[in-house]
Structure 1
Amino acid sequence: MSGMRRAPRLPHGPVAIVSSPWVVVGAGVLVMVVLLVMALGAYRGRSPAPDGASRPPALPLPTLAEVPSAPGPASSPPPVRPGLSGRASGLPPGVTAGSRSPSASPSVGATGGVPAVPRSPSRAPQGQPAMSGRYRVVQSFDGGFIGEVSMVNRSAEDRGWTVRLEFSGGRLVTAWVEGVPQGTLRQAGSGFTYGSGVDVRPGGSVSLRFHMERAPSTPGVCTVDGVRCSGF
């Protein structure tokens, strides 16, 4: 039968697999499912440790007391001063602030065992008065001025003072002391004498001021305890 054609034969083996795409896709899906099942099994195999399982002991943290501190410099006790007790917190009875006792005996220092020599009281240099004064004009205005006599105690003890001022004319309005209690004022003509109200400590200073009217700014006489003032 020459007029009839034969049906083509289907390929066998690997050629048949390649020619069927659904076979390849199904094999890939199967491989992925197998890998997923294996991964889940491995994850479930790692179970957490039970509550009663022993754990490694935790290392103790160092506390503040265990940290060694660097040795600091040794503090030396303060030296003992003459006339002061180790238990007393102030000056001994009979000793005023700012003065030194000339009869204090030397004491032994607490650190080196060397006796502390007390300082001798300061004295005014030779040729200088114990109480010195300096005159100046503080302010001048029409009809008068304000003058000042500044004094310094250069001796080693508390001292009082007396200022004497005389002018060739004019009138004293008032006189006062700066910063301390007032003293005694005595007028005599165109001049006056002013005595201190309180003593001045060694090395201390005080200022006397006064208001003069219709008087020359330069006095004819200015003395402190009989010693001529400087500054004019």
Structure 2
Amino acid sequence: MAIASSPWIVACAGLVVMVVLLIVALGAYRGRSPVDDRIPPVGLPLPRVPVEPSDVTQAPPSSGPSAPVVPGLSPRASGPPPSAPTVSPTPPVRPVVVPTSVRPSTQAPRPAPPQQSPAVTGRYRVVQSFDGGFIGEVLIVNASRVDRGWTVRIHFGRGRLVTSWVEGAPQGTARQFDGGFSYVSGVSVPAGGSVPLRFHMEWASSTPRGCTVDGVRCSGF
């Protein structure tokens, strides 16, 4: 009844309560620490874009362990590209082994046997010259150790044989041909000896084109 009769008492009490609440609120505000400006503001979440199943490329399953994926680097295949040509490996080169048992021969080459001199040789010369002809001679020498027979063949190219004979020995056989003649001994020349064969030629050069004794060329022209 007293409150109902005195309403100003209620108004004063409410005013006092509001002042006390205001003082408490000011004290609480001053006690808080200032907000750190270095803390970045919280970003708002980005909206998610739906991904169609067809846009995602599925990689074939790998039988071995997969290599770790580094951010910013695209994965690469470890094998050669399908279009690269296949290179066959080069076979290794085997060294050539030379047997040690084979050695070059150190023996000096054998000298060639000395060429043997012919057993019977002839030496040609002009004994006498005159108008229309000359007398020539072939001296047959036997350098061997046994008696040997012989055959003389002389070619002048032209001319005629008048006669032929052997000095101091049995005569042989003479055969004339065009521009020359041949003579076969009637007796062998003794070992280490010699016999002269002489002949008379007409209308022929005193230098023969060929002269042989047993196929060996005569000397002296």
TM-score (norm 2): 0.48
TM-score (norm 1): 0.45
Between structure 1 and structure 2, the one with the greater Rg is 2
| Bigger relative CO (Cα 8 Å, ≥ 6 apart) | 2
